[in-house]
Structure 1
Amino acid sequence: RRVPSTVNLLTLTQDSGLAVNADNILYLRVEDEAGAFSPIVQMPDTGSIWHVKAQTARILLIKDMPLNEFTQAENYFVSAMDTLSYDVLDIKSNDGNLIPKIVNPMFIETLRLFEIVIWSANRGNLSSDNANFDLAQNSLPFYLQSGGKLFFTTGLPNAEVQGQGDLINFAPIDSLSTCTIALIPTGISLINEDTGYPVLTSSSLLQRIRGINITPPAQVVYRLPISTACQTNTIIAIKDAANSPRNILMTMPVYFLYGNASASKDLFRKIVINEFGYR
């Protein structure tokens, strides 16, 4: 395939010779005005390949939790999203080597293939537990600006970081709570401030939970009950608008809120179908 010399961004498709669900190598050479050709170069480097996976759904689940919790998370999503079709992108395995090296445009354009992105991460108590906030901040604003819909669920790091943009520039929050709840035991039910959402119950011990502070038009979805550590109803889930939201943030790992399997199914029906309008 000939490419004009003025092109600086190229999207490859099956029409370009891309093999789907297979390993691929891109070979390039340059022809000058006299018709002479340069040596052939390949991308990626010698000994490496790109594996191209076919898109099969309009929903993308990003797995950003520690490897030792993959099975638990997978079991949760298989059950909670049993009536929904979704593709999965693992950004944790192999020390993150499955993340495209060039975030803009490679990773961003991957997200834009999907109508809805569900980004699921872990507790945030250790560096290995943290969501990949750098990747999220460098990609999700562009995805949302192009019309994408996002449910981001993660714990927050131990560091007492303040300000909307320090960790999260992709959700409508004012700041992170300065108060930390040391422990949330199993069997604690969230307060569904938005009564259209089901009551979720913790199914695992959760440590160092922090809330978020918001300003209108963001709406509170869930709070925690008043604790001895934080004498307030800590906000742990919000959406960017009361009606037809496109951005929902939860500061707890959703797969640890599996005390009621039916409520978990109802949660994703509410978010994906009722809120995001998936059909």
Structure 2
Amino acid sequence: MTYISYILIMLGVLLISSCNETLIHPSDNQPPNTTLFLDSIRNQQNSRVYVSWSGEDTDGMVIGYIFTWDKKNWYFTRNNDSTFALQVESSDTNFHFSIAAIDNSLKQYPYEGERIEFVDKNNNGFHDPGEDFPQLHGAVDPTPANLFFPIKNSAPIIAWGNDTTAKSSLSVALPDTTFAFATFKIFVTDPDGDATIESIEWSMNDSTQNANWKTLPKNTRLFNVTIKDGLLLNANNAIYIRAKDIGKLSSKVLRYPSTNKTWYVRAAKGPILLIKDCANKDIDNFYSRALSLIGSNTFDGRFDVLDINTTRTADAPAKTIPPFINPMFIESLNLYSAIVWYTDKSPSMTLAQQSLTPYTRSGGKVLFIADLPAPLSEDMRTEIRDFSPIDSIGSSEVSSDPLAIRNGTEFIALEHGGTIYPNLIKERGSVLVYPLYPKANAKPVYALPVGTKWQGTPILGVQDDESTMIFLHMPLHLLNTNDQAIKLIERIMLDEFKIR
């Protein structure tokens, strides 16, 4: 074989070898390309933005994407679009969105939402062109698509109640006149996300920038106002409130009451609150007169009257009752040392159940004089048992005869180891009563005598063992022969409750 022939044979072998290499080892994987449908947005957007994207791969298919809003944190997704809620950190903020397609050359793919690490070659904390994502092994577009979002900060929204509707605001409106404790409920939100709310500020009787604006925690939705906070007594008041976000934008200033209404705060005249739960003016006059006379006129002009009957309807409590029993109504009761609560046959027992136990636990004293309807519902029996020293009430009245308890009948005061109460004599009217059964630690204080129209000596008055509540099921205004019923109220207030 000549030298030239040898060279030609070797060249042929190399050519064949080169062709075989081409067939056996195809060219390297080509990365995909990524497209965003807009490359910029000129008009400012709100903080919720919709973004869509797509990818193409010349030698395969696109399986997923990685995206970022800060060039630091990249996340995997298989979606082609999404709505993002952006965190606004100043009055206006520019956001930079980047996304890169991933092809089908990987053996294993990240899970949805998985954070993808990159090699930060220059240690600047941001992903820069040419920096690899090791987990993706070259399957990712090295030139991500980008979109810039100028985001406009939106001011917070504040309203009274649970939402921004007029119905919600009305549901939390206070009575036109209140005592020196008020509870307000507010709704606060922000179109940019509630996490952007920084604070809630309020001021009493002044809405200027120089007012004494006080700050509430940003999650506050219920708050109270007292004299210490600037309530003016025996005067009209107004409260102003606003919310601020982290971009220092403020909501509108909300005023309570609205500009065409008034909110009057009255001071307590003295230590006793008389609660009128009755529609009979004769009964009203009896209790007002009694409190004015007892203790040689000690409390004349030194008690307040709360009418919870006149504006009450079948569907709603009286307009004098605040929307928040706890704490507003209970704390209003706590402004007084003692309560005299009298009812007709439509008593507000649910309100008594909700408020009187926390009131007595706080040291308050209660004289409760109840007239009861017939029949007496199980719900009302439960309510009475919950707040009073009564364990149970008879299934029926002591007599079905409205004249069974005749004029001149004596209601016997029972010895109970405390203040001696006077016997009371019925002087007029019709008296229908149920027998009461005291709780184990309570003491009976009044009973009917033995009679032919009823069995035994039904108990009609009970006092708890701590002398915080006396429950009487007797119409005192009909038992006031020789002003003995007034004398009873005097002994309870002065001697038993020690009110001064």
- What secondary structure does 2:276 align onto? strand
2:335 and 2:384 mapped to 1: Cα distance?
25
1:196-227 Cα offsets, whole Å, 9 max, x none, are 11111223313321121124321111101234
CA, structure 1 residues 233+179, in 2 after alignment: closer, same or farther (shift >3 Å)? farther
Shift in CA distance, 119/9, structure 1 to aligned 2, threshold 3 Å = same
Q: Which of the residues 145, 161, 185 maps onto 2:406? A: 185
- Output the CA distance in 1 between the equivalents of 2:383 and 2:342: 19
SS at match of 2:356: helix
State the AA in 1 paired with 2:434: R
CA positional deviation for 1:4: 2.0
* Match in the other structure for 2:496: 275
Which of these residues, 233, 248, 269, is aligned with residue 35 of structure 1?
248
Cα displacement string for residues 28-68 of structure 1 (whole angstroms, at most 9, x for unaligned residues): 11122222110122334564432211012122111111153
Q: Which amino acid aligns with 1:266?
A: K
Q: Give the aligned partner of residue 479 of structure 2.
A: 257
- 2:172 aligned partner: none
2:292 and 2:428 map into 1 onto residues whose CA distance is: 18
1:147: which partner in 2? 363
AA partner of residue 288 (structure 2): E
Considering only aligned residues, what root-mean-square deviation do their CA atoms show, in Å? 2.4
**Cα displacement (A) at 1:268:** 2.4
- Specify which of 60, 84, 89 is matched with residue 273 of structure 2: 60
Amino acid at match of 2:492: I
Distance 1:208 1:161 in 2: 16
Asked whether the 8 Å contact 1:158–1:208 carries over to 2, the reply is no
Matches within 5 A, 1:85-100: 85-95=302-312, 96-100=318-322
Amino acid at match of 2:413: N
| Correspondence for 1:109 among 327, 331, 334 | 331
CA offsets per residue over residues 222-267 of structure 1, 9 Å max, x none? Answer: 10123434212111111012xx511110012323321121x23431
CA contact (8 A) 1:12 1:18 kept: yes
User: Which residue of 377, 387, 408 maps to 1:170?
Assistant: 387
Counterpart secondary structure, 1:169: helix
Q: Which has the larger radius of gyration?
A: 2
Q: Unpaired runs of 5+ in structure 2? A: 1-212, 313-317
More relative contact order, 1 or 2 (CA 8 Å, 6+ apart)? 1
* Aligned-partner Cα distance in 2 for 1:225–1:45: 58
Q: Deviations over 1:87-126 (max 9, x none)?
A: 222212222111112111111111111111111112x2xx
Return the offset for 1:18. Answer: 1.8
Q: Secondary structure at the match of 2:433?
A: strand
TM-score (norm 2): 0.50
Higher-strand-fraction structure: 2
Residue 97 to residue 39, structure 1, CA distance change in 2 (3 Å): same
Map Cα deviations across residues 147-172 of structure 1 (whole Å, 9 max, x no partner). Answer: 21111001112124459624441112
Contact 1:80 1:264 in 2 (8 A): no
Identity of aligned residues (%): 31
Is the CA contact 2:446–2:462 (under 8 Å) kept in the aligned structure 1? Answer: yes
SS in 2 for 1:260: helix
The equivalent residue for 1:127 is none
2:236 to 23, 28, 41: 23
Taking the aligned partners of 1:30 and 1:162, their CA distance within structure 2 comes to 47
**Residue in 2 aligned with 1:51?**
264
Q: Distance in 2 between matches of 1:225 and 1:132?
A: 30
Q: Structure 1 counterpart of 2:374, which letter?
A: N
> What is the aligned length?
270
Q: Which runs of 5+ in 1 are unaligned?
A: 125-129
1:131 aligns with 2:355: no
In 2, Cα distance between equivalents of 1:78 and 1:187:
26
CA distance in 2, matches of 1:55, 1:224: 37
What amino acid is the match of 1:189? E
* TM-score normalized by the length of structure 1: 0.86
- Which is further off, 43-52 or 105-114? 43-52
Instruction: Determine the C-alpha separation between the residues in 1 that align with 2:462 and 2:368.
Output: 10
Which amino acid letter does the alignment assign opposite residue 441 of structure 2? P
